[in-house]
């Protein structure tokens, strides 16, 4: 009987969480981020093709629906398994789904920035590349990974440190930067249940400002992730359903 009570309670909480997400998405009550009248030129810096869909699609959907001008800088073509050209093409298809103009998507294939857990990227060199992109595209705001890189991948973490190096060395003091916060593995795969912890952590965070962005277009995110056929495994399938 106790097990039945646990199961029923879990279902009730899961359904309540789903309704909370749907209601918030429709009302756009989470729209406190970049809501001023000015449209921003935003640079999303990622490490590999599929990062944009797997980790940043809720943010991308939020920005594009409010008509901010989004650019993507992908530091490698993900050639760790010799599929760099395939993965680059998958990224372009995903960006088409996410309504990002392909001329605003740059994928690099440089010797010093190759995909791999054993490949360490130079932070100062990465900072110079980011600086060029900021100047060329008149960027107002940068978005990227946090210190842990969401999944812990060393390339993700190097992107974070490279942008940190750029921000510390730039004279462009009006550049704004935001990072995607890492959560533990249980929260990553908890689906709608995580909404409550996300809201709570955003209100309790003391080291800076936090915005909790719900995915207003989950079908679009799933379709974008599904363009990355070469990377489509069961854990990515589950993760793409997170709000």
142-184 residue pLDDT tens: 999 999 999 999 999 999 999 999 999 876 668 899 999 888 7
Measured CA to CA, the distance from residue 43 to residue 133 in angstroms comes to 8
Give the H or E element holding residue 242. none
Measured over the CA atoms of residue 80, residue 85, residue 88 and residue 94, the dihedral's sign is negative
- Determine, yes or no, domain membership for 2: no
The CATH number covering residue 229 comes to: 3.40.50.10320
- Determine, yes or no, domain membership for 73: yes
What's the average model confidence in pLDDT over 120-139?
96
- Determine, yes or no, domain membership for 23: no
Measured CA to CA, the distance from residue 96 to residue 93 in angstroms comes to 5
- Residue bearing the bigger pLDDT, 225 or 213: 225
Q: What is the pLDDT of residues 96-121, one digit of tens each?
A: 999 999 999 999 999 999 999 999 99
- Determine, yes or no, domain membership for 33: no
- Determine, yes or no, domain membership for 9: no
- What is the pLDDT at residue 26? 44
Question: For residue 240, which phi and psi values (nearest 5 degrees)?
Answer: -70, -15
Measured CA to CA, the distance from residue 61 to residue 214 in angstroms comes to 10
- Determine, yes or no, domain membership for 214: yes
Instruction: Give the count of domains, the chain.
Output: 1
- Determine, yes or no, domain membership for 21: no
Helix, strand or coil, per DSSP, at residue 10: helix
Alpha helices in the chain (DSSP H): 2-27, 51-54, 57-65, 84-97, 123-136, 154-169, 185-188, 194-204, 218-225, 234-239
- Determine, yes or no, domain membership for 16: no
Between helix 218-225 and helix 57-65 the angle, nearest 10°, is 130
Measured CA to CA, the distance from residue 226 to residue 220 in angstroms comes to 10
- What is the pLDDT at residue 28? 47
pTM score, two decimals? 0.83
- What is the pLDDT at residue 216? 78
Residue 183, domain extent = 38-240
Q: What is the pLDDT of residues 21-67, one digit of tens each?
A: 545 544 444 445 776 567 899 999 999 999 999 999 999 999 999 99
- What is the pLDDT at residue 17? 47
């Amino acid at each position: 009987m106790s097990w039945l009570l646990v199961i029923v309670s879990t279902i009730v909480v899961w359904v309540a969480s789903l309704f909370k997400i749907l209601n918030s998405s429709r009302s756009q009550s989470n729209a406190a981020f970049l809501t001023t009248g000015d449209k921003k030129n935003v640079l999303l810096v990622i490490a590999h093709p599929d990062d944009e869909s797997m980790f940043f699609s809720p943010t991308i959907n939020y920005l594009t629906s409010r008509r901010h001008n989004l650019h993507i800088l992908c530091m490698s073509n993900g050639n760790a398994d010799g599929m760099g050209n395939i993965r680059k093409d998958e990224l372009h298809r995903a960006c088409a789904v996410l309504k990002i103009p392909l001329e605003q998507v740059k994928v690099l294939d440089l010797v010093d920035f190759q995909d791999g857990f054993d490949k360490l990227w130079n932070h100062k060199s990465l900072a110079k590349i980011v600086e060029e992109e900021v100047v060329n595209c008149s960027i107002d705001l940068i978005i990227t990974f946090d210190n842990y890189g969401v999944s812990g991948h060393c390339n993700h973490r190097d992107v974070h440190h490279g942008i940190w190096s750029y921000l510390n060395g730039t004279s462009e003091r009006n550049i704004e930067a935001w990072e995607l916060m890492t959560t533990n593995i249980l929260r990553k795969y908890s689906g709608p249940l995580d909404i409550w912890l996300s809201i709570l952590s955003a209100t309790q965070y003391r080291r800076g400002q936090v915005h909790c962005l719900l995915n207003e277009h989950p079908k679009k995110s799933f379709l974008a992730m599904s363009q990355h056929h070469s990377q489509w495994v069961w854990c990515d399938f589950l993760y793409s359903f997170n709000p």
